[in-house]
Amino acid sequence: MTKTISVSMRTKVLIISIFVVFFLAVASLIATIVTVNTINKSNIDEYKHDIYKKTEIELQNYVQVTIQTIDSFYKRTLPSKIKQEVKNHLTQRMDFLFSILEENYKIYKNSMSKEELKHNLIKIIKSAKYANSGYFWVNDFDAVMIMHPILEELNNKNLMNQKDENGKELFKAFVTVSKKQGSGFVDYLWPKPGLKKAEEKISYVKVFEPFNWIIGTGDYVQEVTKKIKKDAIKTISEIRYGNNGYFWINNSKSKMISHPIFKELNGKNLSTFQDENKQYIFNEFVTIANEKKEGGVVLYLWPKPGEQKAKPKFSYVQKFEPWDWIIGTGAYVDEIELKIKNMEEKSEKSLQTITIISAIIFVIVLVILSLITLTLSTKRDAKNYEEEYL
């Protein structure tokens, strides 16, 4: 009887042990899943913070590289450089015209009379225009105007004593530099076509030796500065990165200088422009760019290229002070959220994998424990049977 009770007690102890192990295993499994899930959520939150910060840094880097590009254009407009820009520009124009004149002279010098050939070459010079207002004139070594395509009232007049607003005898200077060097540059003041106010101008004169003509062309320093700015705008408007990354330029009065996608905004004052949340986004660009020299981020709604509906976007803006340009570029939040969603899906799959593996291990351990317990129990029962009946 005592042995039977003892066997019964041992069986109960074994059963209790199995249940204890079972519950400990279940608790351990649950704890593992909860811990992994908590770690995953923490990792996702950290990833979300990091990816937004990383995107901000990337946008900042893009803007700063763009500003460096603009600065390279700006340096060409500095007083120490702009005149050389004008000279290079004029030399190229003059060389091109001379190549045409010299070729025509070579072809027709033996088949046309001198006066007829002069007339034809003058027509070529008169029709040679470039940019918005570039032209060529012809005078002789007595400073008599042979042909001026804009101010025709000067034709056939002796301009040796013609002075600019500063008293400079510019045509005398043209003759002097042509006699000494055959070509050269002269700085002076001259009104733009259609205007009365004189502006700083640089002209390049060169002698066409067959007829002893002094051919001249000039450009306004301010016009070349404008041209360099236009070149800078064109360069920036053509830059693309990623799927739909681009740059726009507005000024501190919220006027759009250049938007490569929504070109209808160019030249418009957008100080009253609001997004769908009634946010004055361009005013915010100006505020951030003026307050922070290094630039900053603005969150707003904006149409995605190729789509009509506005989507959340955050952009980095920074000011280029010399030209009062605010350079901006941005990223759409849905693209960032897609990366976060992918991260969440990967974490979810990872959690599922860990759960399945843990469950399999749990079942295997449970089976092993059960087999061990069953084996031990069988051995004890056999031993007790032998002791009791044999």
Beta bridge partners of 214: 139, 207
The first and second tokens of residue 254, run together, are: 């919220």
Q: CA nearest 316: which of 280, 292, 339, 340?
A: 292
Q: Is residue 85 within 8 Å of residue 76, measured between CB atoms?
A: yes
- Asked if residue 203 lies in contact with residue 188, where contact means CB atoms within 8 angstroms, the answer is yes
Matching CATH number, 240-335, of 3.30.450.20, 2.40.30.170, 1.10.510.10, 2.60.120.10: 3.30.450.20
Domain 81-224 shares a fold with domain 240-335 = yes
pTM value is 0.69
Which token pair is 200? 């700083």
Measured at the CA of 111, the angle between CA 106 and CA 114, to 5 degrees, comes to 80
Strands 248-251 and 213-220: unpaired
User: Which stretches does DSSP call E strand in the chain?
Assistant: 136-139, 145-147, 183-191, 198-208, 213-220, 248-251, 256-258, 296-303, 310-320, 325-332
Residue position matching structure tokens 């042979």: 146
Residues 6+ apart with CB under 8 A from 339: 51
The answer to whether the CB of 113 falls within 8 A of the CB of 101 is: no
**Residue 378: its pLDDT value, please?**
63
Chain-centre distance for alpha carbon 368: 64
Domain residue extents for the chain:
2-65+359-389, 81-224, 240-335
pLDDT for position 341: 59
Closest CA relative to residue 201, chosen from 216, 189, 183? 189
Distant-in-sequence, close-in-space partners of 266: CB < 8 Å, separation ≥ 6: 256, 257, 258, 259
Name the class of domain 81-224.
alpha beta
306 to 41, 101, 126, 368: CA distances (angstroms):
34, 50, 47, 62
pLDDT tens per residue across all 390 residues of the chain: 454 555 556 566 666 766 666 666 666 667 666 655 565 565 555 556 566 788 788 899 999 999 999 999 999 999 889 999 999 999 999 999 999 999 999 999 999 999 999 999 999 999 999 987 899 999 999 999 999 999 899 999 999 999 999 999 999 999 999 999 999 999 999 888 778 888 999 999 999 999 999 999 999 999 899 999 999 999 999 999 987 889 999 999 999 999 999 999 999 999 999 999 999 999 999 999 999 999 999 999 988 877 778 888 889 999 999 999 999 999 887 665 565 555 555 656 665 666 677 667 767 776 776 676 667 566 555 555 555 555
Q: What is the CA radius of gyration of the chain?
A: 42
Nearest residue to 83 (alpha-carbon basis) of 260, 224, 286: 224
